[in-house]
Structure 1
Amino acid sequence: MGEIVLAAKVTHVPSMFISEQPGPNHGCRAAAIEGLKKIGDLCRERGVDTIIISDTHWLVNAGYHINAKPDMSGVFTSTEFPHFLNNMPFKHAGDPELGQLIAETATKNGVNTLCHHEVETLDLQYGTLVPLRYMGVEDDIKVVSIAGWMYDAELEESKTVGESIVEAVKKSDRKVAFLASGSLSHRIPPNTVVSDYLFKISRPLNQATDLMVLDMWKKGQTKAFLDILPKYAQDCDGEGGMHDTAMLFGLLGWDNYEGCAEMMTEYFPSSGTGQCNVLFPVN
């Protein structure tokens, strides 16, 4: 029987890529990169076969969608931040069997979900690629990428997808890590000033709310957090509507979850948004 052996909320800020490059911003995201490296090391220590990522940069308009194609190799340039993230090579392998099992299970549970493993031209988004890069994962661990930005879906549906992932994994023989790839608050400043905000938050209220949420997670106050999640996602512009986070807590057990989160990278602002790497104990 398969099992979930790791769960985390992770950052995918493209400024990690410029942090690697020579120049004035070299090393600027060292802490974020180190946090992802630690998560990658834990995946290998725990014998992870497949990493499932809920990617808030994959927008879908109808139904939930999964990319599990066998060959995920290529070179990526972001259409959103081409000046930050360009010509990034990647080499990954999908897990079609597990991806299909998740889709069938979620659909059976009432959320129409499709797995794509024969569409060679379906590309990965950087919410998947960037964390894997800094976790040190290539094709040694398989990947399943799930769209984490739903045009018009309820958080309850994403909770069901998270629950369905657990159900599907138990039917498999996989040891699985789940990553909710997205920011906390996500208000990017206006174009006229955005270049001044690489290391700043867009609104002080967003940062205060983000820090309150992280404190809830560290103290295991899951029910209190879930009570505010819909308004938090709306008022603080949670990335992708925070569907990745709803999947994460659905997977963890929703309001029955009592685990106390561990910070792998302390909170930091990036281009107006609130970021972190946080590990959640799994039962």
Structure 2
Amino acid sequence: MDMDGQIVGAAVVSHHPGLMQCEEFRVLQGAGSDSDLIQGYARLRERITAARPDVVAIFDSHWFTTGYHLADAGTRYQGSYISDEMPWYLHGVPYDYRGCPELAQLIETVSRERGGYNRAIGHPELGRQYATVNLVKQLRLEAAGLPVLSLSSCQNCEWPHFLSSGEAIGEAIRRSGLRVVLLASGALSHRFNGIDWQPRHPRIFHESNVSRPEHIESDKGAIALMREGRHDRILDRWQDEYRTLPWEAFGAHYLQMLGAMGGRACRAPGEPLCDYENARGTGNIHIWFDTQADSGAGA
């Protein structure tokens, strides 16, 4: 059995839909200052290029499924994306990129061996979500020719299920012989400001516009622990803090990524690649994890 596959890098990544608007509009929204998340994508592209992956796996916090954690086993994705959430500006986005069906199928195989709930799905009419499409565009994965594997967030799970789902994904990667970068596509705290909300700071992306002060404090605490590689301490606080705030998709994107990287044993240090910013009240940041510096993970 081939055990040479490895996770060569990982990141928590914002997919903030406002970043798909034109630069002029973003600057107007930002009181003359664009979002640092945009520059952060360029920094993340450099890390991905240096990692030399064969595949980029995206934990898509907008792809909600029920009953199973799904891995998209399509061979190729081509079309024009329109968001049903914000179609007035997120529409007409062309995409054309490859999938990685062999890794999706291997994830299901490993999960079935373990009595888990990961399954592969390759239906040609399965829609896209902008938590994947925005990253494909902003990170220029199409131009790089990198296959992309989207992974769902199963909504009728408790947080330990996401960790065990990630464990199966990590084992499948080890068996695959592939070099894989993991991207957890989503925010940290995820409470939106109301429709009649007035910004507290003239720079719309500024952190003080995150919905609640306690969310800012908690997000920054999690970021500090990520920088130290103390993912175990984040898990210790999950049920009473990060689950109740809550994080986007109940933290499925981060927890599945972490499970694949070794779970509680993971000590991969995180490097913020941009400012911590607001997106309609939610807390967003890009953080790169150096998996090669982690002696605790099994990947």
Aligned to 2:85: 80
For 2:295, the equivalent position in structure 1 comes to none
Could you tell me which residue of structure 1 aligns to residue 14 of structure 2? 11
Conserved in 2, the CA contact under 8 Å of 1:163 and 1:251?
Answer: yes
Equivalent residue number for residue 129 of structure 1: 133
Matched with 2:166 is 162
Q: CA deviation at 1:171?
A: 1.2
Q: Tell me which of 188, 193, 218 is aligned to 2:192.
A: 188
Question: What is the distance in 2 between the residues matched to 1:42 and 1:29?
Answer: 22
Q: Please state whether the residue corresponding to 2:56 is helix, strand or coil.
A: strand
Secondary structure (helix, strand or coil) at the match of 1:72 reads: strand
What are structure 2's unaligned runs of at least 5 residues?
293-299
Two-structure CA RMSD over aligned residues (Å): 2.0
Q: CA deviation at 1:108?
A: 2.1
Alignment check: 8 A CA contact 1:7 1:282 kept: yes
Question: Does structure 2 conserve the Cα–Cα contact (< 8 Å) formed by 1:14 and 1:84?
Answer: no
Normalising by structure 2, report the TM-score. 0.88
| Distance in 2, Cα, partners of 1:165 & 1:132 | 21
Partner of 1:207: 216
Residue aligned with 2:94, SS = strand
CA contact (8 A) 1:9 1:180 kept: yes
TM-score, normalising length: structure 1: 0.92
User: 1:192: Cα distance to partner?
Assistant: 2.8
Tell me, what secondary structure is at the counterpart of 2:249? helix
Among residues 178, 181, 195, which one is paired with 2:182 in the alignment? 178
Question: Where in structure 2 are the equivalents of 1:79-118 lying within 5 Å?
Answer: 79-117=84-122
Specify the alignment match of 2:23 in structure 1: 20
Farther-moved stretch of structure 1 (13-22 vs 156-165) = 13-22
Paired residues of 1:98 and 1:172 also in contact (CA < 8 A): yes
Percent of aligned pairs sharing the same letter: 26
Q: Distance in 2 between matches of 1:54 and 1:181?
A: 6
Question: Does 193-202 or 232-241 show the bigger shift?
Answer: 193-202
Is this contact kept in 2: 1:265–1:277, CA < 8 A? yes
Name 2:297's counterpart in structure 1. Answer: none
Q: Does the CA contact (< 8 Å) of 1:15 and 1:29 recur in 2?
A: no
What SS does the corresponding residue of 2:273 show, helix, strand or coil? strand
Count of aligned pairs between the two proteins: 281
Compare 241-250 and 195-204 and name the one that shifted more. 195-204
Equivalent residue runs for 1:49-64 within 5 Å:
49-64=54-69
Query: 2:72 aligned with 1:67, yes or no?
Result: yes
Compute the displacement of 1:28 (Å). 5.5
Cα–Cα, structure 1 residues 234 and 22, in superposed 2: closer, same or farther, change >3 Å? closer
Q: Which runs of 5+ in 1 are unaligned?
A: none
Q: Is the 8 A contact 2:117 2:165 kept in 1?
A: no
